[in-house]
Structure 1
Amino acid sequence: METSSSAETLATPARRAAHTVRTSGGKIKAIAAITIGNGLEFFEFTAYSFFAIIIGKLYFPADGDSAQLMLVTATFGIGFVARPIGGLLLGSYADRAGRKAAMSLTLTLMAIGSGLIVFAPTYARIGLAAPLLIVLARLFQGFALGGEFGASTSLLMEYADDRSRGFYGGLQVVSQNLSALLGALMGLSLTAVLSTASLESWGWRIPFALGLLMGPLGVYIRRNLHETLATGVAARNSFSHSIRIVFADHRPQIAAGVGLTMGSIAAVYITLYYIPTYVAKVLHMPASAGLTAACMAAAVNALLAPLVGMLSDRVGRKKVFGVSCLLLVFAAYPAFALINQAPTIATLLPVMALLTMLATFTAVPNVVMLPEMFPQAVRATGMSVVYCIGVAIFGGFAPFFATKLIAVSGSNLAPSWYLMACGLGALVALPFIQEKAGQPIE
C-alpha cells in the first residue's frame, strides 16, 4: 500500500499538466488536441456504417437483401472484435510509455486500416480476397480505436479537476459525435451530388481517403501535449504489469463496468449507426432519410454532451445515468412502434431526437465513471478493457443482433427489444458502481 506522500508524488505529473494547461492559457489547445485526434479516429471507424449498403453490394454478394445485410453488419461488428485486444495491449502501452505515445500509435494504425479500404479491389475483380481485405482493415481500425479511447479519455480525466471531470468527459463524447455527424453529412452530400454509378464506383471511398490523410494531422496536433503519467508509475509498469493488476485486483470493476456500458452503448449504436440501414432496408424510406436522422442524432448528442457532463458533476453520475436509462427502457418500444406505424421523415426525426437525448444522458456519465473506477497506474488499461468489451459485444454487433432479431421474429420492432434488454442489464450493474463525482481519482 502506497503512503499518502508517495501517492501525492506519483500524482504530481497529472497535477503539473493540469496546472500548466490552466495557467498557460493552453486549456483550449490541450482539449482540442485530445478530442480532435479522438474524433478523427472515430470518423475513420464509423464512416463504414454510413456506406454499409454500398460496401455490402460491392464486397459481400449474397442471395437476398437480408443475407447481404447480415454479412455487412457482421463485418461492421468484426471491427469491434479487435477493440478489446487493442484496449488491452495499447492500454497497457499507455500505462507504460505514456498517454501521448499510445495516442500517436493508434492514429498510425487507424490510417493503415483506412488505406486498406481505400485501395481494396471489389469482389467482382478479385473474388474472396476482397471481403478478406475489408475484414483485415476493420481489424486494424478496431485494434487502434480500442487503444485510443482509453489513452485519450485517461488524459482528459487527468487534466480535469475534481469538479469538472463530467464536463471534460462530455467533450470526449462531443468529439465522437461530431465525427459521426461529419461522416453522415458526407454520406448525405455524396448521395445527393453523385450518380448511383459514380457513388458505387469511387465516391464511397472518399471518406476513407480523408481518414487516411488525417492520420498525420492528428499526430501533428497532439505533439505538444503534456504527459500526465507519473514517471514512477511508468517505470514500474512492465508490459504485463498493468494487465495483471487489472485482472487480479479489479475484477468486480470490470464486471460492473461492462454491465454499465451495455446500456449506454447499445442505445448510441442503434439510434446513430444502425438507423440509416434500418430506415432504408426495413422501413423502405429513401437512404437520405436515414442519413438525415443520423445527422440529427449526432448533432443532438454533441450539443447535449457537455451539459450532461456538467449536470453529472453537480448531482452525480449514477443519478443521471439511472434516471435516463430507465426512461430509455420505457421509451424504446413505443418509439419504434411509432416510426413503423408512420414511416415519414416528420415522424422519424422527433422520435430519434428523443431516443438520442436519452442515449446522451446515459453515454456521458458512463464515459466518466469508467476511468474513475481505476487508479492512475492502470487507468488506461482498465477502462480500455471494460469499455471495449462492452462496445464490442453490445455496440459493434448491435446492427447484426437487431437484423437477426427482425429476421427470426418477423417483427420490425425487434431493435427496441434489444435496447430494453441492454438497458435493464445496465440498471442491474449500476448499484455496484461507486460514485466519485467531486472526489479525487489520483
Structure 2
Amino acid sequence: MTTVADAERRTPTFTTIAAITVGNGLEFFDFTVYSFFAVLIGSSFFPAKDPVVSLMLAVGSYGIAFVARPIGGVILGLYADRAGRKPAMTLTLLSMAGGSLGVALAPTYAQIGVFAPIWLVCARLLQGFALGGEVGASTSLLLEYAGDRDRGYYGSWQLFSQGLSALAGAGVAVLLTNALSHDQLYAWGWRIPFAIGVAMVPLGIYIRRHLNETLMPKARNSSNMATLAEVFKANGELVWSCLLLMGGSTITTYVVVFYLPTYATQFLEMPLSVALWAGVTASAVSVATSTYAGILSDRIGRKRTVLWSRFALAISVLPGFMLLEAYRSPAALICVVAALSFLVVLQAVPVFVMITEMFPSRIRATSLSIVFGLGVAVFGGTAQVVATWLISATGSHIAPAWYLIVATLISTIPLLWLTETADKRC
C-alpha cells in the first residue's frame, strides 16, 4: 500500500469532504452557467445568420475545453501520484481560476472581431486542463480517506458537489434572468457567475491546506513513481473498459442535466426562465439522489446498481422526449427532467466510484484522470453538439432520445467482464 495506513484512516468530516470536493464543484458551477447562457454567448462571440449555427458554435466552444482534459489528466494525474494529492489539487484550483477569469473578462466579437472567440477558446482550454487533473487527485484522496465498507457513500459526495454547484449555478442564472433586462444579460449579466467562480477559488485553496496527505512517502521515491507505461501496459484493457463504461454516464448527464434547458429554449420555444427552472430541478434531484445512490451501491454492489438503473433509463428516455414534444409545457418539462435526472444520477454514482476502485493506489489519480479526461472529451464534450446536429439532420425533436438509448446500452457491456469492487480492499 502506498496510501494512508489503515490505522491512520478516519471518518471524513464535513469540512474534509467540502475541502476535497470544492474544485469539482467549481467545475460544474462554471459549466452549468455556460450551458444556461449558451444562446447569449453564441450571439456575442459567434454571430451567424442562422441561430442554430450560432448555438452549435457556442456549445462547440463549451466542448473545446474537454480537448485539454486528457492532457491535464496525464500531467496533473502523474503529479498527484508522484508529489501527492494536495499539491496537485492546489495547482488545479489556481489554473481553474485563470480560466474562469478569462471567460469573465473576454471581449465580444463586436469589440475585437475574430480574436474574441479565440480568447474564449483559450480560456476554456485552460479550464479544461485544470479540471482534467482535479477529479483524479480529489477523488483518490476522498476514497483513500474512507473505510472499505462506505466508499460508495463518500465517493458519492463528488457527484453531490456537482449537483449542488449546478444548483447554485442554475439559481444564479435564474436570479440574473429575473433581475436584469434582456439587453443587460446580453451585455454583461452573463459574466457575473464566472466572476463568482473566480472569487471562490481562494477559499478553496485555504480550506484544502488542512487536509492530510494520503500518498505515503515511499510512493514518491523515483523507483516507485507512477508512469504512463504502467497505466497502459499493465492496465490498458481496464482503462478502455472503464472508458466505455463511463461513456453512458457522461452522455446522459450532459444531455439530461445540461442540454435540456437549451433544448427547451431553442426547439420547444419555451421562455428562458422556464428552461432555467428545469436546470434547477435537475440539480436538485442530483443533490437529493447522490448519497442515496452511493449507499445503495455499498449495500447491493456497484454492478447491480448500474445495471438496473441503466435499464430503467433506457426504457424511460424515449417516452420522456415524446411527452415533451407533445405537450411543450413547463409542467411536462419539469416532470421529465426530474424523472430522467434521478435515473442518471442513480447509475452515474456507482460508475464513478467503481472506476476509482478499479486501479491500484499508486497509479489511481493518473488512471482516473485519464479515463475521466478522455471520457468527458469524447462523450461529454460532443454530447450537446451531437444532440443538436441530430435534430437538425432528422428534423425530429425526439432524435436525442435515440442517442441516449444507444449510448446507455452500449456503455453497459463492460459490466460483463469487470469485477465487483464494493467488497474490494482499496
Of 408, 417, 421, 1:432 maps to: 417
Deviation at 1:219, TM superposition (A): 0.4
Deviation at 1:419, TM superposition (A): 0.5
Alignment of 1:79-98 (within 5 A): 79-98=65-84
Alpha carbons 2:32, 2:170 under 8 Å: kept: no
Alpha carbons 2:65, 2:124 under 8 Å: kept: yes
Q: Which residue of 1 aligns with 2:9?
A: 18
* RMSD (CA atoms): 1.4
Q: Under a length normalisation based on structure 2, what TM-score does the superposition of the two structures give?
A: 0.97
Deviation at 1:55, TM superposition (A): 0.5
2-side partners of 1:439 and 1:387: how far apart?
Answer: 21
Q: Which residue of 2 aligns with 1:384?
A: 369
Q: Which residue of 1 aligns with 2:309?
A: 324
Q: Which residue of 2 aligns with 1:295?
A: 280
Unmatched runs of 5 consecutive residues or more in structure 2: none
Q: Which residue of 2 aligns with 1:256?
A: 241
Q: Which residue of 1 aligns with 2:386?
A: 401
Aligned letter for 1:283? L
Deviation at 1:238, TM superposition (A): 7.8
User: C-alpha offsets along residues 232-280 of structure 1, whole Å, 9 cap, x if unaligned?
Assistant: 11223788x4322101111111111011111111111111110111000
Worse-superposed segment, 34-43 or 57-66: 34-43
Deviation at 1:14, TM superposition (A): 4.7
The SS at the match of 1:397 is helix
Aligned letter for 1:380? A
2-side partners of 1:63 and 1:18: how far apart?
Answer: 59
User: C-alpha offsets along residues 51-105 of structure 1, whole Å, 9 cap, x if unaligned?
Assistant: 1111101000112111111111111110111111111111111001111111100
Alignment of 1:212-227 (within 5 A): 212-227=198-213
Aligned letter for 1:378? I
1-side partners of 2:92 and 2:151: how far apart?
Answer: 24
Unmatched runs of 5 consecutive residues or more in structure 1: 1-6
Aligned letter for 1:350? C
The SS at the match of 1:248 is helix
1-side partners of 2:390 and 2:5: how far apart?
Answer: 46
Q: Which residue of 2 aligns with 1:350?
A: 335
Q: Does 1:341 align with 2:326?
A: yes
2-side partners of 1:433 and 1:215: how far apart?
Answer: 37
Q: Does 1:412 align with 2:397?
A: yes
Alpha carbons 1:36, 1:175 under 8 Å: kept: yes
Q: Which residue of 2 aligns with 1:123?
A: 109
**Corresponding residue pairs, total:** 426
Q: Under a length normalisation based on structure 1, what TM-score does the superposition of the two structures give?
A: 0.94
Change over 3 Å in CA distance of 1:14–1:243 after alignment to 2: farther
Aligned letter for 1:309? G
Change over 3 Å in CA distance of 1:236–1:313 after alignment to 2: farther
Of 167, 170, 173, 1:187 maps to: 173
Deviation at 1:137, TM superposition (A): 0.7
Deviation at 1:16, TM superposition (A): 5.1
2-side partners of 1:289 and 1:44: how far apart?
Answer: 20
Change over 3 Å in CA distance of 1:198–1:272 after alignment to 2: same
2-side partners of 1:415 and 1:41: how far apart?
Answer: 25
User: C-alpha offsets along residues 288-328 of structure 1, whole Å, 9 cap, x if unaligned?
Assistant: 11110111011101111101100100100000001111111
Deviation at 1:359, TM superposition (A): 0.1
1-side partners of 2:197 and 2:232: how far apart?
Answer: 34
Alpha carbons 1:242, 1:377 under 8 Å: kept: no
Change over 3 Å in CA distance of 1:312–1:199 after alignment to 2: same
2-side partners of 1:224 and 1:44: how far apart?
Answer: 25
